[in-house]
Structure 1
Amino acid sequence: MKKLHRGALAIALHAATSFCACENVLSPSHQTPVLASGWQGQLIANGFTKPRSIHFDTAGSLIVLDSGVGVRRVRLEDKGDTCLSVTENELLIDDTELNHGLALSADGKTLYASTVSSVHAYSYDPQAGKVSPNPRTVISGMSNNDHTTRTLLMSRRSPGRLIVSRGSDENFDVDALDLSSGVSQIRVFDLNKLGDGDTYDFNTQGRVLGWGLRNSVGVDEDPRSGNVYSVETSVDEITRDGVNIEENNPGEELNFHGKADERGDVGNYGYPYCYPLWDTDVPDNEGLRVGDVFSVTQNSTFNDTTCQEEYVPPRLVFPAHTSPLGLLFSEDGETLYISFRGSFNPKNPVGYMVSSVAFSDGQPVERVSSNTALSDVMTNPDLSRCPDECFRPVGLAWDKEGRLWVTSDSTGEIYVLKRTGAGGSGSGGGKGTFVTGSDESRARGRGVAVGVAGAAVVLAGLIAF
């Protein structure tokens, strides 16, 4: 019994001191995020121009693709929980053409970053924080307008295979009907087979993981099954039989693409003519339900049946215009985290959140007809203030302590989230704890610390007794 009391005392004292150790806490530039039950969060860094993709290198540094600036290396002092502070923030790669994609090789010694047209490879020393001055171009031929990000994902199942996503040239791009155009596609390239000085052409080389994909910015690989998934930001200004249905349709998509090391190209996912329903209140809707793929036109040669029989359907559908841009599996493959950057139209703001989806055996638990597959993890408290006064999440990454890192490109901020108890996958409810630098939050922190310290005193008395 005496040992039990001393253990409890140690825990109480640790909890009390952890609140005091975190000094100079940053406050979000706009609204303080709301966290789900079982989560704690904190703003760790700000002042970036447009932070998009992030990764941790083998030395524990946070590598940030700051769009229009280059790649930054951020060193952190870690005092536990979400109490971290930046000790160094240096420009690792000075290249204003870099705009989104970022990946690291399996050994951490090669860094990949993307421009609108190309993927560059840099020799990287994570301990010294240095890259080679002259990068090698490993993939080229991707220039187009409108959707200009090029997401990069290095396969963990098959090291050396780099997955690259390229979006459409415009909102409704008929070039996506032509596989040789290279637009609206996800391809995988085996860099192990790339000769010295050689460069892959995106349009003619690599294996197609999917085409007919308007703009699949978020891509990740289930670490257990090796299954590759993407999230699709779908079309705007859509009509059906001449009726505008863009307010709540089409749904954003979660798509399945097989494994990076499988053979053979994967099919067409329907863009620019086929889309999944989110709101079934559309013309000629008999028999349609959430997730069903429909055609923007109904005629004898192209209709709903054509879409449903000849194209690959999504695995899940999310609310229209929420704009999913980041995708990240938990290490056990049981949860998929998605960053929704949010709608560009302030008439009816939606998205602006990090949410989670339950997985089992490499597949979503919910059916494609579900409209409740998402569990919120981190949200803005007042969407009516979006997009101008909201965080807009994009990049997601895990650190070695299992904490979830999130970038907000609109505010130039980087957050860290930590699971603290039950409901940690994201259960909504707004009962988590977000630590801010405000007087009120510091007072709350002191109050908790005093309460825990008081409990420690009581326990100490019990031990002494």
Structure 2
Amino acid sequence: MQFRNNTCLGLWALLIATARCQCNGISSLTTSYATPIAGDGWSAALIANGLSGARSILFDSNGALLVVRSGTGIVHLTFTDGGGTCLEVANTTYLVNSTTLNHGIALSADGNTLYASSSEAVYSWAYDPAAVTVSGTNKTLISGMSNDDHTTRTLLMSQKQPGTLIVSRGSNSNIDVEAESLSSGHSQIRAFNVDNVTDTPYEFTTSGRLLGWGLRNSVGVAEEPLTGGIYSVENSADEIQRNGTDIHQNNPGEEMNFHGTLSSTDNQGGNYGYPNCFAVWNTSIPDAGSLTVGSQMTIDATGNASITDAYCASTAVSPRLTFQAHMAPLDIIFLPNGTEAYVTFHGSWDRTAPVGYKVAAIAFNNGQPVAASDSLTATTDIFVNTDNANCPDSCFRPVGLALDQKQRLFMSSDATGEIYVLAKTGASSGAATGTGSAPSPTATHSAAARWELGGMMWLLTVLVIVGSL
């Protein structure tokens, strides 16, 4: 009997330690704001901080994470990986020091050429992922993109057409009248063959393959992995009126647009409406008529009486999906099997009640969203701030997304200079809850909480068995 009691006490101490050390000694970082919430079926952990201005992120061929820091350059991170969301930065290398780089990053198919963008140009370097070095000088591939206001130049290297680099350029202002002209080069997405660049860079406005125009600020661009379909997510206009009525709180909607594939010219090169036509999110607007969610409408800022809702319906490409106004989608990425896309919503400023500040999932099937184009519920929240009333000052603001070989989802937050990792746990995939409400009983605040709960459950099970001996 005495032996069994000592065994129980020893097991108790051992199992308590085990339950609290599920991350194999890897330390966990904490936030300076309320701990975010992961949705059912997900765990999440903060794994890096001190990276002010962290924007686009991308894994190289050796599994290191490359992070663009706006106004600073590109940082190379390696991790000590304890599995799941148990990661810790092992090494930090400043790969490219540049005050002009601000957002875009891509790699060639062989992983040996690095691409990055400033507000004016796209550059390339020879890259050695093993030595963690780049060539001493960079090459300018695409130029002529200077404008004010929306200065990010998103880069995407096609996996279906290697050597084809997609570049997204935004508008010059909230309502940029120059974007009405195709020759301006504003608010466009173009594709370039960067395998054949000479010493003379491409001029963005006159070169490349036009995938779409009339796109106010399509910061997020992705290639659907099964069909090769090109999708973008667009930040729409602020402070708008319609027929003299302020409708800016809930209109216009942010957009997900489809741009065909690089293997065909179908559904490609069209005018998506801006600066004349905008997607409806909330139909409680003047003269709504038959307008539905996603319909193209006019606003007062056009100043052109000939631009009507009927004109927009007949000339502008409608979005494949429409999101709540002012959520500011900044990135989109697909699972390799094409069943889900993930989108970062950076968050609003032009709205009384803040919205966005989250990562959401969108179901896909056969290369297309499952939800109808007029759906109000196409997204499922998977990572949210506890209360958006604290945003933007005391919350994460998601920007870039990247998937590693284990299909863990990595996310950057520029406002807080952080990197998070999210992993599926195999539980149900319900939405995360936040924005002023208490966390769901099944929502998780961090990977550490999940590991400790799991460890304690295992502990209790073992103790019951031992106690019965």
Query: TM-score if structure 2 supplies the norm length?
Result: 0.90
**Compared with structure 1, are the counterparts of its residues 460 and 81 closer, same or farther at alpha carbon in structure 2 (3 Å cutoff)?**
farther
| Alpha-carbon distance between aligned partners in 2 of 1:436 and 1:30, rounded to the nearest angstrom | 17
- The one of 268, 290, 293 equivalent to 2:293 is 290
**Deviation at residue 391 of structure 1 after TM alignment:** 0.4
Residues 137-178 of structure 1: CA distance to partner in whole angstroms, max 9, x if unpaired? 111110000000000000001000000000000000011111
Q: What's the counterpart of residue 238 of structure 1?
A: 240
Change (3 A) 1:447 1:370: closer
Distance in 1, matches of 2:194 and 2:465, equals: 60
Confirm or deny that 1:115 pairs with 2:121: no
AA aligned to 1:186 is I
Moved more, 286-295 or 331-340: 286-295
Q: 1:307 corresponds to which residue?
A: 312
CA deviation digits over 1:343-389, x for unaligned, max 9? 02462211000001111111111111110111000001111111100
Segments of 5+ residues of structure 1 without an aligned counterpart are: 1-11
Query: How many angstroms apart in 2 are the aligned matches of 1:182 and 1:113?
Result: 19
The answer to whether structure 1 residue 276 and structure 2 residue 279 are counterparts is yes
Task: Identify the match of residue 431 of structure 2 among 427, 430, 436.
Answer: 427
Superposed, 1:384-395 pairs within 5 Å as: 384-395=389-400
Change (3 A) 1:79 1:292: same
State the shift of 1:230 in Å.
0.3
Amino acid at match of 1:428: A
RMSD across aligned positions (CA)? 2.2
Q: Quote the offset at 1:402 in angstroms.
A: 1.0
* CA separation of 1:203 and 1:83: change in aligned 2, threshold 3 A: same
Quick one: which of 405, 412, 435 aligns to 1:407?
412
Aligned to 2:22, the other structure's residue is in SS state helix
> What is the one-letter code of the residue matched to 1:31?
A
CA distance in 2 between partners of 1:230 and 1:24 (Å): 37
- Report the CA distance between 1:296 and its aligned residue: 1.5
Structure 1 distance, partners of 2:111, 2:20, is: 35
CA contact (8 A) 1:240 1:296 kept: yes
Inter-CA distance 389–26: structure 2 relative to 1 (3 Å threshold): same
TM-score w.r.t. the length of structure 1 is 0.91
Picking from 128, 152, 156, the partner of 1:153 is 156
- Aligned partner of 1:63 among 36, 61, 66: 66
Distance 1:299 1:94, change over 3 A: closer
In the alignment, which residue of structure 1 is the partner of 2:4?
Answer: none
Instruction: Give the counterpart of 1:142 among 142, 145, 148.
Output: 145
Maintained 8 Å contact 2:248/2:351: no
Corresponding residue of 2:227: 225
1:251 aligned partner: 253
Contact 1:150 1:165 in 2 (8 A): yes
C-alpha distance in 2 between matches for 1:20 and 1:116:
41
Q: What SS class does the counterpart of residue 270 from structure 2 fall into?
A: coil
Q: Does the aligned pair in 1 maintain the 2:115–2:124 contact within 8 Å?
A: yes
- Letter in structure 2 aligned against 1:240: R
CA distance in 2 between counterparts of 1:300 and 1:149 reads 32
What is the aligned counterpart of 2:51 among 19, 41, 48? 48
Aligned-partner residue type, residue 54 of structure 2: P
Structure 1 residue 324 displacement after superposition: 0.4
Matched to 1:433, the amino acid is: T
**2:384, 2:432 within 8 Å by CA — same for their partners in 1?**
no
Query: 1-side partners of 2:189 and 2:214: how far apart?
Result: 9
Does structure 1 retain, via aligned residues, the 8 Å contact 2:341–2:362? Answer: yes
Read off the aligned partner of 1:302 and give its amino acid letter: I
1:75 Cα offset (Å) = 1.1
Partner of 1:418, secondary structure, is strand
Distance 1:360 1:456 in 2: 43
Q: Contact 1:28–1:436 (CA<8 Å) still a contact in 2?
A: no
Query: How far apart in 1 are the matches of 2:460 and 2:122?
Result: 57
Shift of 1:16: 5.1
Contact preservation (8 Å) 1:26, 1:436: no
**What is the identity, as a one-letter code, of the residue corresponding to 2:167?**
V
**Identity fraction in percent:** 48
Q: Which moves more between the two structures, 257-266 or 309-318?
A: 257-266
| 1:28 pairs with 2:39 | no
What is the alpha-carbon distance in structure 2 between the residues aligned to residue 104 and residue 137 of structure 1?
Answer: 15
User: Structure 1 residues 34, 447: closer, same or farther in 2, change over 3 A?
Assistant: closer
* 1:79 pairs with 2:82: yes
Rounded to whole Å, the distance in 2 between the matches of 1:20 and 1:55 is 24
Determine whether 1:380 maps to 2:391. Answer: no
- Report if aligned partners of 1:217, 1:325 keep a CA contact under 8 Å in 2: yes
- The residue identity in structure 2 corresponding to 1:362 is G
Deviation at 1:90, TM superposition (A): 1.6
Q: Which runs of 5+ in 2 are unaligned?
A: 1-14, 434-439
Question: In structure 2, how many angstroms separate the alpha carbons of the residues matched to 1:72 and 1:134?
Answer: 17
Partner SS state of residue 271, structure 2: coil
The residue that corresponds to 2:457 in the other structure is 451
1:204 to 203, 206, 216: 206
Measure, in 2, the Cα distance between the counterparts of 1:394 and 1:22: 29
CA distance in 1, matches of 2:392, 2:228: 35
Is this contact kept in 1: 2:86–2:447, CA < 8 A? no
In structure 2, distance between residues paired with 1:392 and 1:109: 31
1:453 alignment partner AA: L
- Contact 2:326/2:351 (8 A) holds in 1: no
